[in-house]
């Protein structure tokens, strides 16, 4: 008994020595101060890719916007090309049941030194992004929402639009001159009963990861896209077939009950030539 107690104390003392010497560590008890203060860069959060609309068969630089929807419809990541603007219109949530303003977060400004940069200069800018801190305010009104700067800005604006309620749709109402909407992988649009993109996109492409990309080179007014799972039309077809099958089953059962009732009635009703109340003989 005494020997087992001695060995137990010895094991506990050895484990404590290893722990205190740093040979053993418990996750969560040690941390790197630098990792706690590290913040993600703009290239880690956003896919910095500028949309160049096609005008007269050629890609042109224009104040365009790329809108990346996430799978759970919780937010939309926006990457805009801005040219010499001080009051920048941004996405605004719409709908009769919307009572609060959408949240705008993760705002980054990547300025261009040239006020009229070429496509090559823009690509160099987004390949080596250097975001800067600018003083701004966000203004919401009944008509639109704006990021208001102290001076005119040319470059890339990236931000995340978080609506107050999740919805599998994107409404681009920030007055951009060209629109590109990138749907999550596995999602699609275009079914007249489930949801479509309005107006009709000028081009629909498939991205590297299978995502659907909708492009409008010069839309007039707002652009919207209702999206859903690629399997939804199949499920709807199966549900419709099941409903039709159920209706056919109910109809056949009804017909069977009617015929059965007719047989019973014919059996118990008196024959035309028989007296009243006499049962028909089979």
- How far apart CA 9 and CA 4 sit, in angstroms, is 9
What pLDDT score was predicted for residue 77? 96
Residue 97 contacts by C-beta under 8 Å, 6 or more apart in sequence?
165
- pLDDT tens digit at each of 282 positions of the chain: 444 544 444 444 444 433 333 333 223 322 333 333 335 789 899 999 999 999 888 889 999 999 999 877 789 999 999 999 999 999 998 866 666 778 999 999 999 988 888 899 999 999 999 999 999 999 988 788 999 999 999 999 999 999 887 778 899 999 999 999 999 888 889 888 888 899 999 999 998 888 999 999 999 889 999 988 775 555 566 666 777 777 877 877 877 788 777 777 776 765 544 444 444 444
CA dihedral 83, 89, 93, 95 (to 10 degrees): -110
The answer to whether the CB of 107 falls within 8 A of the CB of 147 is yes
What pLDDT score was predicted for residue 104? 93
What pLDDT score was predicted for residue 39? 53
What pLDDT score was predicted for residue 238? 64
What pLDDT score was predicted for residue 240? 62
What pLDDT score was predicted for residue 141? 83
Structure tokens, 90: 């941004």
User: In the block, which residue shows the tokens 């047989």?
Assistant: 263
Task: Write out the chain in H/E/C secondary structure.
Answer: CHHHHHHHHHHHHHHHHHHHHCCCCCECCECCHHHHHCCCCHHHHCCCCCCCCEECCEECCCCEEEEEECCCCCCEEEEEEEEEEEEEEECCCCCCCCCCCCEEEEEEEEECCCCCCCHHHHHHHHHCCCCECCCEEEEECCCCEEEEEEEEEEEEEEEEEECCCCCCEEEECCCCCEEEEECCCCEECCECCCECEECCCCEEEECCCCCEEEEECCCCCCEEEECEECCHHHHHHHHHHHHHHHHHHHHHHHHHHHHHHHHHHHHHCCCCCCCCCCCCCC
What pLDDT score was predicted for residue 195? 83
Instruction: Tell me the whole-structure pTM to 2 decimals.
Output: 0.71
What pLDDT score was predicted for residue 232? 57
What pLDDT score was predicted for residue 114? 86
What pLDDT score was predicted for residue 127? 92
- Give buried/exposed letters for 234-250 (b at 16+ CB in 10 A, else e): eeeeeeeeeeeeeeeee
């Amino acid at each position: 008994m005494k020997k087992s107690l001695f060995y137990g104390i010895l094991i506990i003392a050895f484990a404590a020595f290893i722990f205190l010497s740093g040979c053993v560590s418990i996750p969560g008890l040690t941390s790197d101060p630098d990792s706690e203060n590290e913040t993600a860069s703009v290239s880690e959060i956003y896919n910095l890719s500028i949309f160049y609309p096609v005008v007269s068969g050629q890609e042109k630089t224009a104040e365009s916007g790329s809108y990346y929807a996430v799978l759970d419809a919780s937010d939309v990541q926006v990457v805009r090309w801005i040219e010499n603007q001080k009051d920048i219109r941004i996405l605004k949530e719409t709908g009769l049941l919307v009572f609060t303003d959408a949240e705008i977060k993760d705002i980054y400004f990547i300025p261009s030194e040239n006020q009229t940069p070429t496509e090559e200069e823009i690509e160099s800018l987004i390949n080596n992004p250097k975001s800067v801190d600018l003083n701004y305010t966000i203004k919401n009104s009944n008509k639109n929402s704006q990021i208001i700067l102290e001076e005119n800005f040319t470059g890339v604006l990236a931000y995340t639009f978080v609506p107050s309620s999740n919805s599998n749709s994107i409404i681009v109402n920030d007055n951009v001159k060209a629109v590109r909407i990138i749907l999550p992988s596995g999602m699609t649009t275009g079914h007249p009963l489930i949801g479509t993109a309005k107006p009709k996109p000028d081009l629909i492409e498939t991205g590297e990861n299978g995502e659907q990309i909708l492009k409008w080179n010069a839309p007039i007014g707002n652009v919207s896209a209702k999206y859903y799972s690629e399997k939804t039309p199949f499920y709807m077809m199966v549900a419709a077939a099941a409903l039709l099958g159920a209706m056919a089953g109910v109809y056949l059962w009804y017909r069977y009950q009617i015929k059965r009732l007719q047989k019973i009635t014919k059996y118990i009703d008196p024959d035309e030539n028989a007296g009243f109340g006499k049962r028909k003989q089979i």
